[in-house]
């Protein structure tokens, strides 16, 4: 019978990072919820969600029995008390309600994001020990460097020609024009207002790596502290280009992250012995 931490991780894998129909219990070809961007580097398909963060802090409380650590890792929901929002619904419910479980976690610090990466590394490597058919023996989750983030955001395209990692910033469907990214466009709605707000992590169109919301939605923490990439739902599209960045010095309602996964040890390939010819 599996120990509680393993069951907990299986819940994490099934519901937070990959769809249930793609999960195979004894092996996987890519780290859960990631796509490959180079030989040994994978990155999350989407921003870390509220659900994933709740699983992280629940583990801290239930398995480690660390109530102080649990409190320390809670997001700062007061980030929604801004001149723009002052949104009591988001303050009270954005992190807690199931309605928002698939939205990006915000209100977290650089140090909290690093703690999540460390926790995820430990849990996934613990699972790998029980999965002899997995393609990897040891992984490391961490924040991507600036260069690694920009590689993933490029969507296999030349950034000098496609500065957003997409061929188009808008698309047409049934005679209407839609935004490719969740950020502020010069175009406004019929009331003369900009229409952009935080959306679920698997919304919008993925790039050619099959990664969602590298541009827009929430800006993303990277390994270089104080620097975020990708722009967000409050940023004009011109400032969301791959080579641009945003500065931060505290948790905000527009700042989240995704993990990069580095393969530390691959499973050796065991060649089958063929039958000898007589």
At 121, list the tokens.
């590394």
Give the domains, in start order, of the chain with CATH numbers.
4-265 (3.90.1580)
Q: How confident is the model at residue 135 (pLDDT cuts 50, 70, 90)?
A: confident
- Mean pLDDT of all residues belonging to the chain: 85
**In sequence order, what are the residues at sequence separation of 6 or more whose Cβ sits closer than 8 angstroms to the Cβ of residue 198?**
103, 104, 106, 182, 217, 218, 233, 253, 254
Q: How far, in Å, CA of 236 to CA of 239, rounded?
A: 6
For the chain, percent of residues with pLDDT exceeding 90: 65
Q: How confident is the model at residue 219 (pLDDT cuts 50, 70, 90)?
A: very high
For the chain, percent of residues with pLDDT exceeding 70: 81
- Model pTM? 0.86
Instruction: Please count the other Cβ atoms lying within 10 Å of the Cβ belonging to residue 183.
Output: 26
pLDDT digits (tens, 9 = 90+) for 172-200: 888 888 899 999 998 654 444 456 799 99
Q: How confident is the model at residue 131 (pLDDT cuts 50, 70, 90)?
A: confident
- Asked if residue 2 has pLDDT above 90, the reply is no
- Asked if residue 270 has pLDDT above 60, the reply is no
Q: How far, in Å, CA of 17 to CA of 4, rounded?
A: 19
Instruction: Please count the other Cβ atoms lying within 10 Å of the Cβ belonging to residue 1.
Output: 4
Q: How confident is the model at residue 23 (pLDDT cuts 50, 70, 90)?
A: very low
């Amino acid at each position: 019978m599996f120990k509680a931490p393993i069951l907990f991780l299986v819940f994490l894998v099934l519901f937070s990072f990959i769809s249930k129909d793609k999960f195979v219990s004894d092996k996987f070809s890519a780290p859960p919820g990631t796509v490959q961007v180079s030989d040994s580097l994978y990155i999350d398909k989407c921003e870390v969600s509220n659900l994933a963060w709740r699983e992280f802090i629940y583990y801290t409380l239930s398995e480690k029995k660390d109530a102080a650590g649990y409190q320390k890792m809670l997001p700062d929901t007061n980030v929604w008390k801004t001149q723009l929002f002052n949104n009591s619904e988001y303050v009270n419910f954005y992190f807690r309600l199931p309605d928002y479980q698939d939205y990006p976690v915000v209100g977290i610090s650089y140090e909290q994001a690093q703690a999540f990466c460390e926790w995820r590394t430990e849990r996934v490597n613990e699972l790998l020990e029980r999965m002899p058919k997995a393609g990897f023996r040891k992984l490391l989750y961490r924040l991507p460097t600036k260069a690694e983030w920009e590689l993933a955001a490029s969507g296999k395209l030349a950034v000098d020609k496609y500065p957003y990692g997409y061929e188009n910033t808008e698309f047409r469907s049934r005679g209407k024009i839609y935004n490719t990214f969740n950020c502020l466009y010069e175009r406004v709605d019929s009331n003369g207002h900009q229409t952009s707000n935080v959306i679920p992590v698997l919304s919008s169109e993925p790039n050619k790596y099959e990664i969602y919301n590298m541009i827009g939605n929430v800006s993303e923490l990277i390994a270089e502290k104080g620097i975020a990439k990708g722009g967000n739902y409050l940023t004009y599209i011109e400032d969301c280009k791959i080579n641009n960045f945003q500065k931060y010095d505290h948790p905000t309602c527009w700042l989240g992250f995704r993990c990069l996964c580095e393969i530390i040890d691959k499973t050796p390939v065991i060649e089958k012995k063929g039958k000898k010819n007589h």
